[in-house]
Amino acid sequence: MTDPRATYLDWNATAPVLPEVAAAMAEALARCGNPSSVHRWGRATRRAVEEARLDVAALVGAAPQDILFTSGGTEANQTALRGFDRRVLVSAIEHDSVRAVPGATVIPVTGDGQVDLGALDRMLAAETRPALVSIMLANNETGVIQPVAEAARIAKKHGALFHSDAVQAAGRLPLSTAALGADLLTLSAHKIGGPQGVGALVVRPDLDLAPLIAGGGQERGRRAGTENVAGIVGFGIAARQAARHIDNQARIARLRDEAERRLLALAPDAQVFGAPVPRVANTLCLSMPRVPAATQIMALDLAGVMVSAGAACSSGKLRRSPVLEAMGVAEADADCAIRISLGWSTEAADIDHLVEAWGALYQRTRAKAA
């Protein structure tokens, strides 16, 4: 019999929309006015957009004019990496929207899932052509925190621009473009309780960024098209609430660590990926040996527990994780890895439910193999 309980542990894919975000968006949708119009309704809509821009800028310690609103993290990443006439270097564990940039050179990572800074230094030194380096702040599959500030210093030493995809770090780590050394930084609303379909690229003010979408003067000429006003308003409210999420990370880390301890106690042959190095508090990537990820996800879903296999941004496809492959994880282990990600509403009962459902599946598979 299917367990009627519902436990959501796929927060790295998307977070629930905060009630205050939904309320602000409903109010924005009830208003009429194009933010480019100069009449009173247009000006009121423009004010709502600019207030949100202030809130998003405050999240990362930037100036509001540095914020370029986009349709999400993917567009922000593509804008950053295609906006300059430079060779592009990206880490092997980046999101698909970064690794998919044509002609990008791949920076290797260690077995723990952190970028190889020595390799980055050598790769930049090997060619004098101006470069742009992209290294994410927190990995979406393993949660591993990357040495971004150190990587940015290496990039600057070689005259390179530095971009960081901070989508999974927002609301989980304090963010400062200055402290990170980032010339460009990617954010996404739906990871912090905002709506899907809106993101931002933080751009150093003196950079001449070529627009990815041309044809209008919106966003200071850097992104054409009428702004997604309701989405931007929701993004602003979510950014304003992000400090509350950060304050909750210690509690979330305790829950994640408890889940990790109990699952490993049930399955001593299971592996946790990225555990030896710093991770964001909410993420656990582990394998159930000899049980494919798809089987685990379906069995857990039937038991009312929602998790994912690696990134959830590939049109619902289940495929071997390029992140684990880059870390040197054996194919058989990578094929059996799932991602469990917690959030601000996760409670101890959710961990109990996960452990019960995952443990029951583990015992069934071992009984069949005996």
**Where are the domains positioned within the chain?**
7-16+247-369, 19-245
CA distance 163 to 135: 7
Closest CA to 184 of 170, 160, 164, 166: 164
**Domain 19-245 belongs in CATH node 3.30.1490.20:** no
First-last CA distance in the chain: 25
CA distance 261 to 296: 19
33-62 pLDDT per residue, tens: 999 999 999 999 999 999 999 999 999 999
Query: In the prediction, which pLDDT does 316 show?
Result: 52
**Would you say residue 311 has pLDDT above 70?**
no
23-36 pLDDT per residue, tens: 999 999 999 999 99
Cβ neighbours of residue 39 under 8 Å, at least 6 residues apart? Answer: 33
**Would you say residue 295 has pLDDT above 80?**
yes
Give the predicted TM-score (pTM) of the model: 0.95
**Mean pLDDT across the chain, nearest whole number?**
95
CA distance 51 to 67: 12
**Domain 7-16+247-369 belongs in CATH node 3.90.1150.10:** yes
170-212 pLDDT per residue, tens: 999 999 999 999 999 999 999 999 999 999 999 999 999 999 9
**Would you say residue 3 has pLDDT above 70?**
no
Confidence of residue 324 (pLDDT cuts 50, 70, 90): very high
Q: Is 285 a catalytic residue?
A: no
**Would you say residue 317 has pLDDT above 60?**
no
